[in-house]
Amino acid sequence: MKALVFERSVARLVAARAAGTWRPGGGARFGALRLEEVDPPARPGADWRRITPILAGICGSDLSTVDGKSSRYFEPIVSFPFVPGHEVVARLDAEDAPTAGIGAGARVVVEPVLGCAARGIVPMCDDCSDGHTGNCRHVAFGHIQPGLQTGFCADTGGGWSGGMVAHDSQIHAVPDSFSDEDAVMVEPTACGVHAALAAGPVSDSTVVVLGAGTLGLTVVAALRRLALPGHLIVAAKHPVQRQWATELGADEVVDPGGVARAVRRRTRSLAAGRVLTGGADVVVDCVGSADSVEQAVAVTRPRGRVVLAGMPGAVRLDLTPLWHKEVQLAGAYAYGTETAPGRPDRGGPRTFALAFEVVEAARLGRLVGARYPLERYAEAMAHAADAGRRGTVKVVFDPTARTRPTWRTA
């Protein structure tokens, strides 16, 4: 079968980094990603299923990996060579046994975290036991190779291929009412849900979302449907992002350079130079750059909260405002079990269950703007890296396609 394979190669990573710096997404053409003919991955155990990807999204973390810009923090918790692709809607193999009430041949979405259950680790770590699988402490252990998620593990394969495997604990049935585009948006939406709920109670709060790519927009959709912030300001760079942010529930959409002014005005603060006397209660940073983190802290009120949802990498920051204003800086990675307004405090809903709700309510499949066959991966990566400017939000691979890309403007 065809698969896009990412190999460990210092020379190629250097080339990818250079190309990615020159032109974001350019690492696909010169780096460690190759289209190859490979054998389908073997099932690591009886509770694993063979699935055939229908659509697989390109995520910001994928772009960082392909452009050689991911943090070295990940090195011990990924295994090479791996097939990327963790935003996956797939079909269970027809001859595979049914699992958890999902019939053979059904469409499924993969919850990619490879926690204790998938790794066959007994007893499970405390976080997995509590449902916080994203915080699993065993992602480098167990009977499969290291990999924090499907798409970064040599044993499981990934969505950018003609076939992969998934553990029963990772599989979610897709309702018939969902299009394939809706389904492929479930995983990124789960990240958005998790980040939105990491903001805490925000019903009377001013909340700012920095960035309006896929992650930012799913955070907006999740906030509007699950957390109901008092006033939601979104920083969006491109017209298509502004349009979607408004449609998904932002009260105010501003250019990135206008965030401080919007927050100052909304909170009726004064300003001494760049220091506001007030600020937003919560800022969700969906960019993850040094500039965005500094901006997030700058516009957060004293004792407010910054949720870091965008993958940051190594950044250089002036943390004086964070120290002076006693701002809380919290990470938000992946998914697990959530505490949400109007939901039980204990044994709360799974993030993926909420993500299905949000995708359906907001019809987030509409964010999928371009589909590429695997063969055109370099173009796909370049498009994904430049999606906003090109009027697109989400770019996906269609591993079954051999045609020219189908284009749908948002």
Residue ranges that bind other proteins, judged by CB under 8 A: 242, 252-255, 257-258, 261-262, 264-265, 268-271
Task: Provide the token pair at 252.
Answer: 């105010």
- Given a contact cutoff of 8 angstroms between Cβ atoms, the answer to whether 200 and 171 are in contact is no
Residue closer to other proteins (CB basis): 265 or 402: 265
Q: Which residue has the tokens 């998904």?
A: 248
Residue closer to other proteins (CB basis): 129 or 277: 277
For residue 324, the minimal CB distance to other proteins (Å) is 20
For residue 217, the minimal CB distance to other proteins (Å) is 18
For residue 260, the minimal CB distance to other proteins (Å) is 10
Phi/psi of residue 239, nearest 5 degrees: -55, -40
The DSSP symbol for 177 reads: T
CA separation for the pair 232, 121 (Å, rounded): 42
CA separation for the pair 170, 147 (Å, rounded): 14
Residue closer to other proteins (CB basis): 143 or 261: 261
- Given a contact cutoff of 8 angstroms between Cβ atoms, the answer to whether 335 and 134 are in contact is yes
Q: How many Cα neighbours within 13 Å face the side chain of 12?
A: 15
Q: Across the strands, what pairs with 33?
A: 6
For residue 9, the minimal CB distance to other proteins (Å) is 43
Residue closer to other proteins (CB basis): 85 or 388: 388
Per-residue 3-state assignment (H helix, E strand, C coil) for 67-82:
CCCCCHHHHHHCCCCE
Residue closer to other proteins (CB basis): 126 or 255: 255
- Provide the CA 140 distance to its chain's centre, in angstroms: 21
Q: Which of 106, 117, 116, 112 is nearest to 83 (CA)?
A: 112
CA separation for the pair 309, 198 (Å, rounded): 9
Residue closer to other proteins (CB basis): 23 or 265: 265
Residue closer to other proteins (CB basis): 255 or 291: 255
For residue 12, the minimal CB distance to other proteins (Å) is 39
Q: Which residue has the tokens 């870091």?
A: 308
Residue closer to other proteins (CB basis): 256 or 313: 256
For residue 205, the minimal CB distance to other proteins (Å) is 18
For residue 242, the minimal CB distance to other proteins (Å) is 8
Task: Provide the token pair at 299.
Answer: 């516009």
For residue 270, the minimal CB distance to other proteins (Å) is 5
CA dist 340 → 194, 199, 222, 226, 344 (Å): 10, 10, 11, 7, 8
